[in-house]
Amino acid sequence: MKMLKNTGMPLGLVDDQEWQQRKFQLDPGDIIVMYTDGITDAQSPLNELYGMERFSETIQTNRERPPAELEKLVIADIDRFLDGAPQPDDMAMVILRKDK
């Protein structure tokens, strides 16, 4: 799994922001997962963060599944982790896969 580095401030955070353009090659079967920090910052009832490591592991373990199914699996894992704890931040995720 390769993590892409950010090229500026998060989109929509401030007006008149500039970003660097980068290109990368997607091979058949590759996926891109875009998400808000509400996912990795989700807190359990014990105030533990869901975190990047658990998020990445869930994605990596299920990366061969269709994007819609992968999304449901990630959300289900987050819900189990949260165990009903309220969250102060939004959670959004987009998963794209290049066709084979």
* pLDDT at residue 14, rounded to an integer: 74
CA 15 vs CA 4, 12, 18, 49: distances in Å? 23, 7, 9, 30
**Predicted TM-score of the model (pTM):** 0.83
- What's the pLDDT score for residue 8? 67
Query: Is the pLDDT score of 1 beyond 80?
Result: no
Q: Which helix (H) or strand (E) holds 80?
A: helix 67-82
Task: Kindly report, residue by residue over 38-91, the tens digit of the pLDDT.
Answer: 999 999 999 999 999 999 999 999 999 999 999 999 999 999 999 999 988 999
Q: Give the separation between CA 62 and CA 57, rounded to whole angstroms.
A: 9
pLDDT given at position 87 = 86
Domain range summary for the chain, segments of one domain joined by +: 37-97
| CA 75/CA 71 separation, integer angstroms | 6
Comparing CA positions, the residue from 50, 51, 33 lying closest to residue 93 is: 33
